Chains A and B, each alone.
Chain A
Amino acid sequence: MGKRTIIPFGPQHPVLPEPVHLDLVIEDEKVVEAIPSIGFIHRGLEKLVEKKEYPEMVYVIERICGICSFGHGWGYCAAAEGAMGVEIPDRAEFLRTIWHELSRVHSHLLWLGLLADGFGFESLFNHCWRVRETILDIFEETTGGRVIFSVCKVGGVRKDIDADTLKKIADTLENIKADIKSLTDVFLDDVSVKNRLVGVGYLSKQDAIDLCTVGPMARASGINQDLRFNGHGKYLEVGFTPCIEEQGDCYARCKVRIREIFESIGIIQRCIEAIPEGAIDVPVKGKFTGEFITRMEQPRGEAVYYAKAFDPGKETNYLERMRVRTPTNMNIPAMVKTLQGCDLADVPMLVLTIDPCISCTER
Chain B
Amino acid sequence: MSEKKYAIQDIQNIAASELLERVRKLKEDGYRFSQACAMNREYGQDLLYSFDKDHILLNLKVKVNEGEEVESITGEYWPAFIYENEMHDLFGIKFLHNALDYNGNFFVTAEPTPWNPKK
Complex interface: chain B residues within 8 A of A284 (CB)? none
The answer to whether A323 and B78 have CB atoms under 8 Å apart is no
In angstroms, Cα B62 to Cα A44, docked, is 23
Complex interface: chain B residues within 8 A of A304 (CB)? 34-35, 50
In angstroms, Cα B57 to Cα A42, docked, is 27
Complex interface: chain A residues within 8 A of B109 (CB)? 39, 42
Tell me whether B118 is interfacial, beta carbon within 8 Å: no
Complex interface: chain A residues within 8 A of B83 (CB)? 329
In angstroms, Cα B5 to Cα A323, docked, is 20
The answer to whether A39 and B106 have CB atoms under 8 Å apart is yes
Tell me whether A344 is interfacial, beta carbon within 8 Å: no
Complex interface: chain B residues within 8 A of A82 (CB)? 6-7, 9
Q: Return the contact of B9 from the options A212, A231, A292, A330 (Cβ within 8 A).
A: A292
In angstroms, Cα B11 to Cα A39, docked, is 30
Most chain B beta-carbon contacts within 10 A, residue among A232, A236, A306 = A306
Tell me whether B2 is interfacial, beta carbon within 8 Å: yes
Tell me whether A293 is interfacial, beta carbon within 8 Å: yes
Complex interface: chain B residues within 8 A of A321 (CB)? 37, 39
* A window 281-301: CB within 8 A of B: 291-295
In angstroms, Cα B64 to Cα A203, docked, is 36
| Contact digits for B73-97, partner A, Cβ 8 Å, 1 yes 0 no | 0000111011100000100000000
Q: Return the contact of B35 from the options A225, A232, A292, A329 (Cβ within 8 A).
A: A329
Complex interface: chain A residues within 8 A of B56 (CB)? 230
| Contact digits for A40-73, partner B, Cβ 8 Å, 1 yes 0 no | 1010100100000000000000000000000000
The answer to whether A333 and B78 have CB atoms under 8 Å apart is yes
Chain A residue with the shortest CB-CB distance to B77: A212
Number of interface residues of A (CB under 8 A): 38
Complex interface: chain B residues within 8 A of A291 (CB)? 9, 11
Tell me whether A209 is interfacial, beta carbon within 8 Å: yes
Q: Return the contact of B114 from the options A44, A293, A329 (Cβ within 8 A).
A: A44
Complex interface: chain A residues within 8 A of B15 (CB)? none
Name the interface size band of chain B: 35 or more
Tell me whether B13 is interfacial, beta carbon within 8 Å: no
A312 to chain B, nearest CB (A): 14
Tell me whether A101 is interfacial, beta carbon within 8 Å: no
The answer to whether A39 and B108 have CB atoms under 8 Å apart is yes
Asked if A212 meets B3 with Cβ closer than 8 Å, knowing A37-B105, A291-B11, the reply is no
| Contact digits for A300-311, partner B, Cβ 8 Å, 1 yes 0 no | 001010101000
Tell me whether A211 is interfacial, beta carbon within 8 Å: yes
In angstroms, Cα B41 to Cα A308, docked, is 12
The answer to whether A231 and B3 have CB atoms under 8 Å apart is yes
Q: Return the contact of B59 from the options A229, A293, A325 (Cβ within 8 A).
A: A293
In angstroms, Cα B7 to Cα A333, docked, is 29
In angstroms, Cα B79 to Cα A291, docked, is 26
Q: Return the contact of A230 from the options B5, B48, B89 (Cβ within 8 A).
A: B5
Complex interface: chain A residues within 8 A of B33 (CB)? 212
The answer to whether A308 and B39 have CB atoms under 8 Å apart is yes
Asked if A333 meets B6 with Cβ closer than 8 Å, knowing A293-B11, A293-B57, A308-B39, the reply is no
Complex A-B: 20 CB contacts under 8 Å: A37-B105, A38-B107, A39-B108, A40-B108, A42-B108, A225-B55, A229-B55, A230-B55, A231-B4, A292-B9, A293-B11, A302-B34, A304-B35, A306-B48, A320-B39, A321-B37, A323-B48, A329-B83, A330-B35, A330-B79
- A interface residues, Cβ below 8 angstroms from B: 37-40, 42, 44, 47, 78, 82, 209-212, 225, 227, 229-232, 236, 291-295, 302, 304, 306, 308, 320-321, 323, 325, 329-330, 332-333, 362
Given contacts A38-B107, A231-B5, 19 further A-B contacts (CB under 8 A): A38-B106, A39-B109, A40-B108, A42-B108, A78-B6, A212-B77, A212-B79, A229-B55, A230-B56, A231-B7, A232-B6, A292-B9, A293-B50, A304-B35, A320-B39, A321-B37, A323-B35, A323-B39, A362-B107
